[in-house]
Structure 1
Amino acid sequence: MFVITSDQRDSRRGEDLVPAGLDLLNRLGTDRWAAQPERTAGDEIQVATADPSLTLTALLALTRRGDWSVGVGVGAVEDPLPESVRAGRGAAFVAAREAVERAKSSPSRCAITGGVVAEDTAALVALLIDLRDRRSREGWEVHDLLAQGMTQRDAAERLGISPGAVSLRAKAAGLRLEEAAVPALVHLLEHADRPHSDVDGP
């Protein structure tokens, strides 16, 4: 199981972003959350899922603007999960608490804990977040249009630029690198959640 604990950064000097964060997670997860997103304390959000793809998607979405420190705990939870994630117990919840505290001092604003594979995955996720942090507004425009299912030609028409210009933006934004990295990171998260993943082979 994956438990995601997110803490708003610099919350004392800004507006409460928890409602927007909850809305984001609800739109991402629909019925794939094992325990629905909740405000757990103050400016903190917690959610649980067994889906490694959804875990990575949520982590990248929350770290995109820099407003959240995001900790992901990997491991077992007491079954069945309670109706409220705040009442959840188990190794993944303990790991998520440790992870979010570590995320607060991490340049990538995230941490993943719960074993050796989880730690290795966190290092690679940090590289992807660094790539995304360097992406320009124009690069994000192309990213978001392609994420909607548009072709580069469609995106060019929407943006009023040539297909060649879209291709250059996509290259500068590292979109192909991200596209290749995401499935590999999902696979690693899946492996991290296997019992005894620290000692088993691939």
Structure 2
Amino acid sequence: MFVITADQVDSRHDVDRADAAMRALETAFGDELVLPVDQTAGDEIQAVTTSAPTALAMVGALARSGHWSIGLGIGSVRTPLPDAARKATGPAFIGARDAVEAAKRAESRFALRAPDAVERATIIEPLVSMLLLTRARRSEQGWEVADLMRAGHSQKDAAGILGISAAAVSQRLRAALWRVEDDARSSLEHLLAELDAEASPATRNGTDPTE
């Protein structure tokens, strides 16, 4: 299971962004969520999914906004699940809590914890951070073409939508490191799925997941 706990950056000097972020995540990923996106405490939000691609995409969406420190916890959870993420427990939730605290000190504002697969998590965390930092350097024009490609458009389609030449689209994609991101994303999804399989070998029914 993948648990994301995100804490708003410098919330004392900013507007409350929790509601908007929760709605955005529900709209984009609702079908892949195990529980509704929840506000756990103060300006923290939490999301739970069984999908590695969804977990990575949610981390990317939150990081792109620049307003969140993001912790990703991977592991088993105590079942049956309650009706709200803030009531749930288990190694994945403990990992997400530890991770979000570490993320506050990280350059990428991201950290990964898997209490039952620490070594593998330590290897994967910097790879996700590198992807996020690469994306953070992308220009607004780069995001325009990257978003169109992610939505399934061809470069020719993107050129028509943006009113620029196909050559200009290609140039923007190169500057945005689109192909690098696309390849890295696929690899990271695979690595995260493997980590989940190692950290969540079985669901722990009705028992204390920390035992």
* TM range, smaller chain: over 0.9
* Structure 1 CA distance for aligned equivalents of residues 72 and 94 of structure 2: 10
Instruction: Compute the displacement of 1:67 (Å).
Output: 0.4
1:135 aligns with one of 134, 138, 143: 138
**Partner SS for 1:16:** coil
Deviation at 1:119, TM superposition (A): 2.1
Structure 1, unmatched stretches of 5+, are 198-202
- 1:9 aligned residue: 9
- Give 1:1-202 correspondences, 5 Å limit: 1-114=1-114, 115-195=118-198
Displacement, 1:138?
A: 0.8
Partner of 2:79, secondary structure, is coil
Cα shift readout 1:72-108 (whole Å, capped 9, x = no counterpart): 0111110111111111011111110000000011111
CA-CA distance at 1:65 after TM superposition: 2.0
Partners of 1:196 and 1:160 lie apart in 2 by 48
**TM-score for the superposition, normalised by structure 2:** 0.90
The residue aligned with 1:200 is: none
SS of corresponding position for 2:73: strand
**Structure 2 stretches of 5 or more lacking a match?**
201-211
Conservation of the 8 A alpha-carbon contact between 2:76 and 2:199: no
When residues 120 and 158 of structure 1 are mapped into structure 2, their CA distance, relative to the original with a 3 A threshold, is same
Q: For residues 199 and 15 of structure 2, what CA distance do their matches in structure 1 show?
A: 42
SS in 2 for 1:34: strand
TM superposition shift of 1:30: 1.8
Q: Deviations over 1:31-74 (max 9, x none)?
A: 22112111111100011111111000000000002100000011
For 2:41 and 2:199, the matched residues in 1 are separated by 32
Counting matched residue pairs gives 197
13-22 or 111-120: bigger deviation: 111-120
Q: Give the letter aligned to residue 157 of structure 2.
A: D
Query: With structure 1 as the length reference, what TM-score do the two structures score?
Result: 0.94
Aligned CA-pair RMSD: 1.2
Does the 8 Å CA contact 2:75/2:199 hold for their aligned counterparts? no
Give the structure, 1 or 2, with the largest relative contact order (CA under 8 Å, sep 6 or more): 2
